[in-house]
Amino acid sequence: MSERLRNAQAAIQRRDWRAAETLLASATPEELTISALLDRALAQRMLNRLEEALHTLEQVLVREPANFLALLSIGALLERLGRPVEAATAYGNALAVAPPIHQLPVGLRTQVAKAAEVVRAQGEALARHLRDSLADLRATFAGEPLGRFDESLEILAGVSKPYLQQPLLFHYPRLPAIPFHDRALFPWLEDLEAATPVIQEELAIARSAKPRDFVPYIDFPPGVPVNQWKTLNHSELWSSFFLWRDGVRLNDACALCPRTAALLDTLPIAHQPSYAPTAMFSALQGRTSIPPHTGSANTRLIVHLPLVLPGPARFRVGAETRSWRMGQAWVFDDTIEHEAWNDADDTRIILIFDVWNPFLSDAERALISAMMSARNDFQTRERP
């Protein structure tokens, strides 16, 4: 480091901004490293020479377009210059490349929190502007299903993120990413809903005769990262009574619930050896939530039928949140991020099972089943 740069840093340490700027203004191109440019921008900012500071920071970005400190500083300067829209853009770019918050000094954490608040406020302002601008036109389409458009507006404004399919195991191409699917694709839903009293009777038998068969749904072995499942791992807060599990029919459980099992046999269950179907009574205790997560494959969809609802309970898929209603089933894509809340004091129980994605042909279903079976053979061939 040259003597000039050392003297400039010493001036910054004693907050002599004018001396620091004078020294850095006379620096040679070779001396003006990214660190020196950041120092100069700081001195210019403290001298209230904001446009000059912006220009200096732009020189940093020419060399290093994703420089976090430069982007964050540009956002702050644009705020001071009364240009909040541009500030939000700069802050958004900074947040996109920011290190994990726990790795930042305390002072920078405060600035990052402020940046996030500016981005949020500008996004909400843009969303309001878009809604107001489109209000008259939108009113001409009253009665039209516009939920998808409303979601797109929030994505454009940056107040919501796009929710994509994120299967943990298998992504089948060209299948639509739809959070809750149209009931018209599943004509058997009405028969399922009509059978609610019968299924409730058999659930009551299972709860009284085999209470120990309600096992924790999250059951990671030691050594496996539990991530968001730490609270629920090995916990009875979320437990399940399985009729089918990973493609295996549990005959004792089905014998205890014969009419439920017979009904499932009539439905387009997604048979994939060692993977699907899974069918279960899912019990979530009161005041308990299931964190955001995604499922394994978009080749099958998940059916929920509520059986015990002691009070309000909610379910979100992507950007859409619904409340369970007794006698009303739905079908959703669990490879889109989803989460659940039981807001009641007592246990909520629903029937859950997976069915084939209706956009797959019979030929595709047969080939997928055979492919998954072959994959399982490959994965297990070295096991003793």
Print burial letters for 229-263: b (CB count within 10 Å at least 16), e (below 16): beebbebebbbbbbbbeebeebeebbebbeebbeb
Helix (H, G, I), strand (E, B) or coil at 151: helix
Distance CA 173, CA 97 (A): 30
Which residues 6+ apart lie within 8 Å of 18 measured at CB?
Answer: 43, 47
* CB-based contact 223:229 (threshold 8 Å): no
Distance CA 27, CA 33 (A): 10
Which residues 6+ apart lie within 8 Å of 219 measured at CB?
Answer: 233, 234
Is the confidence at residue 1, as pLDDT, over 80?
no
Domain boundaries, the chain: 3-120, 183-380
Q: CA torsion sign, 356 to 362 to 366 to 367? A: negative
201 against 31, higher pLDDT: 201
Is the confidence at residue 22, as pLDDT, over 90?
yes
Q: Categorize the per-residue pLDDT at 380 as very low, low, confident or very high, splitting at 50, 70 and 90.
A: confident
Is the confidence at residue 352, as pLDDT, over 80?
yes
**Average pLDDT of every residue of the chain:** 95
Packed helices 3-13 and 17-25: angle between N→C axes, nearest 10 degrees: 160
Share of the chain above pLDDT 70, in %: 99
Query: What dotted CATH number matches 183-380?
Result: 2.60.120.330
pLDDT score at 384:
65
pLDDT score at 303:
98
Q: Categorize the per-residue pLDDT at 381 as very low, low, confident or very high, splitting at 50, 70 and 90.
A: confident
Average pLDDT (166-185) is 96
Is the confidence at residue 235, as pLDDT, over 70?
yes
Average pLDDT (75-85) is 95
Is the confidence at residue 272, as pLDDT, over 90?
no
pLDDT score at 378:
86
Q: Categorize the per-residue pLDDT at 66 as very low, low, confident or very high, splitting at 50, 70 and 90.
A: very high
Average pLDDT (42-67) is 95
Name the amino acid, one letter, at 344. A
> Any idea what the Cα angle at residue 301 is, between residues 300 and 302, rounded to 5°?
130
Average pLDDT (34-46) is 95
Average pLDDT (18-36) is 92
Average pLDDT (134-143) is 95
Is the confidence at residue 202, as pLDDT, over 80?
yes
Burial class (CB in 10 A: 0-12, 13-18, 19+), 52: middle
Q: Categorize the per-residue pLDDT at 296 as very low, low, confident or very high, splitting at 50, 70 and 90.
A: very high
- For every residue of 119-143, DSSP letters joined together read HHHHHHHHHHHHHHHHHHHHHTTTT
Query: What dotted CATH number matches 3-120?
Result: 1.25.40.10
Is the confidence at residue 255, as pLDDT, over 70?
yes
Distance CA 321, CA 178 (A): 13
Which residues 6+ apart lie within 8 Å of 57 measured at CB?
Answer: 37, 38, 41, 70, 73, 74, 77
* CB-based contact 353:280 (threshold 8 Å): yes
Q: Categorize the per-residue pLDDT at 217 as very low, low, confident or very high, splitting at 50, 70 and 90.
A: very high
113 against 222, higher pLDDT: 113
Helix (H, G, I), strand (E, B) or coil at 196: helix
Share of the chain above pLDDT 90, in %: 90
